[in-house]
Amino acid sequence: MDSLVNDAKSAWRREGLPYVVKNGPEHLIQKYSPSWYSLFEYFALSREELVSYCKKRGQIWYYDSGTQFEISPPLNKEVPKEYEDLIGTRSIGPNFVCEVSNAKLVGPYAIPITSNRNIIKETFGTSGMFQSRLRKTLQQLGKTKSLKLLLDTPATDQNSTHYNTVAHLVVRHGPNYDNPNYGHWINENLPQLQAIEHYKESTGENVKLLINRNPPSWLRDILEYMGYSSDDWIVWNKQSAIVDKLIIPKLSYIHSFDVDPNPLGKKWARRQALKKTDSNHSHSVSDRIFMSRQNGGRRKIKNFQEVKKKLDEFGFKIYRPENLSTKEEVDLFSQANIIVGVTGSNIAGIMFSSDAKVMEIFPHNEYLHVYYTLSNELGFEYMYLTGSGEREDSDDGSIHRDIVVDIEEFEEYLIDLLEK
């Protein structure tokens, strides 16, 4: 019972009461009663099992030897408990790319399955994400049809679409399968292009990128900016498919509760992106930038006019990321020395920065370590600011709620950033 209460409190603080009310019953059923589809975990390959599977068949390529990086305390005087265990040296294993022969893809997230019916979990990152996306697949296709598609082997499935060689880039993170999340794509999937390019160079294979159906304009824009055309990708809009050679890059994921860093992959993506922009940049931008979320549906700054006034005093320019093309965003972040913004995808472009200081703004008493970790992966100095408390006597909270910024504290932190 204590575990249930703690789960509910944690979800309440992260997502808010409406989320708990909507999702609580399902969570209760999933955690405290037998779930028939959780049995799929027994047929799923972990990362280690996938590597072993591919090694036995000579279908794995490593393209670096791993690395280490240091996570330093934030520039703030206080280290939140959410960051304490992260501080220190992190060792990262080597990046790899696997080829799985005679594979099958099922459902809106293109769940990958080996010829002997093992589901490949690598494309989902964590077991929690795997189970979540499996549930959504079963909800969309229906349990009976899903079971048939998942259990039929490529040899017995005569009705599925057929592909030759495709690389799995169907994103699993976003509101639903039609709406991949920008910040996750930039940090997780963009670095995977290195794996795909390495595979192509090593094998000489012509590889198609498999991407989400109805790809948003920003996703097409990023791929085109990185040198791909619509001829290089396939939009996944099937219920199932058989693939002669399925390419699975290692997925270094980010979640609000867990991060699997990939500094080498992110730095590769940055180098490739900077090659595409003019050496002198296509336009001059401010080196002090604030990335706004004021047009978004959540995590807006309530006293934004006061914040804007202070930003103007310190020579910052305000940008709305939704108004920027990929080229403009790369130009902007690559020239920025100081980056300030509310936590979220609006600051995901720090990956394109070469030497910057970052200030991340959270709602009162809320912390995520995604961009703290990312800043350290890239060697940046980092500072956080939490909004002033509006409901200090209540346990109610959410990382998504709007923010009131303490202007005096904001000014003090800006001065610290400029002086350090």
Write out pLDDT tens, residues 348-366.
999 999 889 999 999 988 8
Does position 197 have pLDDT exceeding 90, yes or no? yes
Domain match, 103 and 4 both: no
Does position 396 have pLDDT exceeding 70, yes or no? no
- Enumerate residues 6+ apart whose C-beta is below 8 A from 6: none
Domain match, 99 and 240 both: yes
Structural tokens at position 163: 């592909």
Structural tokens at position 210: 């498999």
Beta strands (DSSP E) in 250-394 are 288-291, 317-319, 338-342, 357-362, 381-386
| Cα gap 80→316, rounded to integer Å | 27
pLDDT of residue 5: 57
- Indicate whether 81 belongs to any domain: no
- Indicate whether 400 belongs to any domain: yes
Q: State which of 224, 240, 272 marks the end of a domain.
A: 272
pLDDT of residue 43: 82
Domain match, 331 and 405 both: yes
Domain match, 295 and 407 both: yes
CATH number at residue 306: 3.40.50
- Indicate whether 187 belongs to any domain: yes
- Indicate whether 205 belongs to any domain: yes
Domain match, 110 and 144 both: yes
Domain match, 104 and 200 both: yes
Domain match, 256 and 317 both: no
Range of the domain at 365: 278-419
- Indicate whether 348 belongs to any domain: yes
Across residues 113-139, what is the average pLDDT?
Answer: 90
- Indicate whether 303 belongs to any domain: yes
- Indicate whether 108 belongs to any domain: yes
Domain match, 256 and 282 both: no
- Indicate whether 69 belongs to any domain: no
Q: State which of 207, 241, 272 marks the end of a domain.
A: 272
Count of domains forming the chain: 3
Residues in the chain: 420
Domain match, 246 and 268 both: yes
CA contacts within 13 A on the Cβ side of 125: 24
**170 and 211 in contact (C-beta within 8 Å)?**
yes
Does position 105 have pLDDT exceeding 70, yes or no? yes
Least confident segment among 7-11, 80-84, 124-128, 218-222 = 7-11
Domain match, 264 and 290 both: no
Domain match, 160 and 260 both: yes
pLDDT of residue 399: 80
Residue 19 banded pLDDT, cuts 50, 70, 90:
low
| Cα gap 254→265, rounded to integer Å | 13
Question: Tell me, what DSSP letter sits at residue 90?
Answer: E
Q: State which of 214, 245, 272 marks the end of a domain.
A: 272
Domain match, 178 and 266 both: yes
Among residues 329, 334, 320, which one has the least CA distance to residue 290? 320
